[in-house]
Amino acid sequence: MSHFFADHDAPLSMLSVKTEYFPQLTDKEQKYAHFMSKASHAGSRVVMRQVSHESEPIFDLILAIHSKLNGKYPEDDITQKQQTGLYLEYVSQFLSNLGNFKSFGDTKFIPRCEVKFFKQLLELAKINPCSSPLTLSPVDVNHEFTSHHLFSTINELIDIGIYHVEEKAALLGFPSQGYTSAYYLGLPVTPEDMALLKEQLFAELAILPENTRINKVGENSFQIWVASENVKNQITETYPSGQITLSNAVTKVEFIFGDHSREMRLVASYLKEAQKFAANDTQKAMLQEYINHFVTGSSQAHKEAQKLWVKDISPVIETNIGFIETYREPSGIIGEFESLVAIQNKERTAKFSSLVNNAEEFISLLPWSKDYEKPIFNPPDFTSLEVLTFTGSGIPAGINIPNYDDVRLKIGFKNVSLGNILSAAAKSSSKHPPSFISQEDRPIFEKYQSDSFEVQVGIHELLGHGSGKLLTEFTDGFNFDKENPPLGLDGKPVSTYYKVGETWGSKFGQLAGPFEECRAEVIAMFLLTNKKILDIFGFHDVESQDKVIYAGYLQMARAGLLALEYWNPKTGKWGQPHMQARFSS
């Protein structure tokens, strides 16, 4: 039970944009960043609905308590001060994760304060504990698509949604196996259900599932909820209207539009405002495709937006928005809402540009044949950013997107390193020395940890995620010599490849994320010793290079040990793909 408590006295990492960055923007750039940030925050409730069924009503309750108390919590005696502190620690962790499951670990966390104290806050705030959680929600939220109704009273929300934990239900996974997932509604969804929908619905109709949720209404009947402002299907040329029968002649499926309708409307409205301040025609066209995506639900519109995003080279204000990463959905195909607004750090970007310019040379050093690389390396945009706004369950240190395999292959991708995230992680206010690092190694580790991590992230994103090629069949042919395929690990020609419509995620499911992260981590470790790369990052003498390398290996070894926190031996599940990757590395 105790391991589910919210963190106590946790280290704080201040995420700030250096004061010189925002004022240096032009008025037009500031307004563009402002409206993109508004669009980003407008999707916050979407994230909560994807985390757990109780997350959004908990959010409403937290805001209601804070508003009605005017931020003045009880501190009349030592006990009250302690209980208030524990409550606020839970609230801060909830808001940081946009839900009651850890973004890094995928486990539920509960308050350390007593249930009695939590309910005393209701009394002080004059909130009726017997009323429905619906009464705390904004009036314009469409509750046809929310889970507030699962809790008849606020008391029930506190007792069951907030405080109750069971070993399996406190982990994200398939509901049919006893785990929790808010990507699925209705009857418990099974792995077999998702495999069927992947193969006979999404693949056969060439519909991308990232912006959907699954409502199982019967043993062989499903509704696919599509995130869109429109509550009716306006894209019938790609999404069938009414109920259809899959090729197994048994399963019935219907697409239902309007999931997150209020939020999609708000996102689209702010994007329209941002469009007025776009820096160029590419940005304007990109935003228009985003707007089409959020209004209609068209997955293809988002893919078109990502193509244009890749072509918008090195903008002063970098943004990305949509249903992006599929790590948390148990079958690995539905994306979590995520949005980034950031300002380019030109000094740091210069390092990454040099890494990009030499990328082909570094990729050629990797231990596999050129048959497994793209025939022509299109140098991607690689920038260092200062994050201004980020909406999602957790902020990464680096990003390599888009995730659409065909876009990456035919158009390209972008790498971004989030500079103030890297700095904040290294400067967190931890009161304890780093675990698993000896007294002898601590000075090197503490001095070079941040520098080494920056190098690792650069290699991880550009040369890790950015290298390699999936052997794929397209409608117009193959991206490899089908008659003379490359050799596999057994020394024989490979006989398998991705068929039309198949993707890395659709074939490998839950393993896709950890496997790809492991590949990127191993490549980072492999190339960390390259003196030319270290020279690019400003480490010119042998002594500093050796210390950066040493700190890097200490960091990865420590990360592998820390990863065990995210392994549940009772359920045999890893709670975080990156940690599964680091343990394997």
Amino acid at the residue 568:
N
What mean pLDDT value characterizes the chain? 93
Return the SS3 of 18: coil
Q: Helix-strand-coil percent breakdown of the chain, rounded to 5? A: 45, 15, 40
Angle between helices 261-275 and 27-41 (to 10 degrees): 170
Q: How many domains does the chain have?
A: 2
User: Other C-beta atoms within 10 Å of 5: how many?
Assistant: 16
- Listed residue (6, 26, 27) closest to 105, CA to CA: 6
pLDDT on residue 572: 83
CA neighbor of 197 nearest in space, from 250, 236, 144: 250
Residue 430 pLDDT: 59
- On whether both 188 and 132 belong to a single domain, the answer is no
pLDDT for position 574:
86
Among residues 263, 290, 324, the one where a domain terminates is 263
Give tens-digit pLDDT for 332-375.
999 999 999 999 998 888 888 899 999 999 999 999 999 999 88
Task: Tell me how far apart the terminal alpha carbons of the chain are, to the nearest angstrom.
Answer: 30
Q: What is the CATH number of the domain that holds 197?
A: 3.30.70.2600
Give start and end residues of each alpha helix (H) in 299-345. 299-311
Catalytic residue among 56, 336, 338, 461: 461
Q: Do the domain assignments include residue 519?
A: no
8-state DSSP, 149: G
Is 370 in contact with 301 (CB distance < 8 Å)? no
Q: Are residues 153 and 205 in the same domain?
A: no
* C-beta of residue 251 within 8 angstroms of C-beta of residue 200: yes
Tell whether 61 is covered by a domain: yes
The alpha carbon of 423 is separated from its chain's Cα centroid by a whole number of angstroms, namely: 20
Q: Is residue 568 part of a domain?
A: no
The answer to whether residues 144 and 191 belong to one domain is no
Q: Do 128 and 59 belong to one domain?
A: yes
What are the Cα distances from residue 36, in Å, to 122, 400, 498, 515, 562? 35, 20, 36, 33, 36
> In this predicted structure, what is the pLDDT of residue 509?
82
Whether residue 155 sits in one domain with residue 73: yes
Same domain? For 66 and 157 the reply is yes
Calculate the dihedral angle through the C-alpha atoms of 19, 20, 26, 28, rounding to the nearest 10 degrees.
-30
Same domain, residue pair 249 and 157: no
**In which domain, by residue range, is 252 found?**
184-263
Same domain for 146 and 188, yes or no, is no
Q: Residues 84, 117: one domain? A: yes
What was the pLDDT predicted at 18?
66
DSSP H stretches of helix in 52-190:
55-68, 78-97, 115-124, 154-156
Check whether residue 143 and residue 190 sit in a common domain. no
Q: Quick check: is 454 catalytic?
A: no
- Write down the pLDDT at residue 426: 64
Both 139 and 226 in one domain: the answer is no
Residue where a domain stops, chosen among 247, 263, 279: 263
Residue 384 in any domain: the answer is: no
Question: pLDDT in tens for each of the 585 residues of the chain?
Answer: 788 999 999 887 777 776 778 888 999 999 999 999 999 999 999 999 999 999 999 999 999 999 999 999 999 899 999 999 999 999 999 999 999 999 988 999 999 999 999 999 999 999 999 999 998 998 888 888 888 889 999 999 999 999 999 989 999 999 999 999 999 999 999 999 999 999 999 999 999 999 999 999 999 999 999 999 999 999 999 999 999 999 999 999 999 999 999 999 999 999 999 999 999 999 999 999 999 999 999 999 999 999 999 999 999 999 999 999 999 999 999 999 999 999 999 888 888 889 999 999 999 999 999 999 988 777 788 899 999 999 999 998 889 899 998 898 889 999 898 988 887 766 664 567 889 999 999 999 999 998 999 899 899 988 999 899 999 998 889 999 999 999 988 899 999 999 988 888 888 888 888 999 999 999 999 999 999 999 999 999 999 999 999 999 999 999 999 999 888 887 788 878 888 999 998
Asked whether residue 358 is assigned to any structural domain, the reply reads no
Pull the structure tokens for residue 301: 């519109």
Both tokens of 467, joined, read 């290298």
Chain center to CA of 535 = 32
Does any domain span residue 128? yes
User: What string of H, E and C letters represents the secondary structure of 486-537?
Assistant: CECCCCCECCCCECCCCCHHHHHHHHHHHHHHHHHHHHHHHHCCCHHHHHHC
Same structural domain, 149 and 89 = yes
pLDDT of residue 428: 60
The DSSP call for residue 188 is P
- What integer pLDDT is reported at residue 507 of this predicted model? 86
Residues β-bridged to residue 256: 225
Identify the pLDDT of residue 291: 99
**Dist CA 104 CA 397 (whole Å):** 13
pLDDT at 423: 79
Q: End of a domain among 221, 243, 263?
A: 263
| In-domain check, residue 244 | yes
Q: Is residue 257 part of a domain?
A: yes
pLDDT of the residue at 105: 86
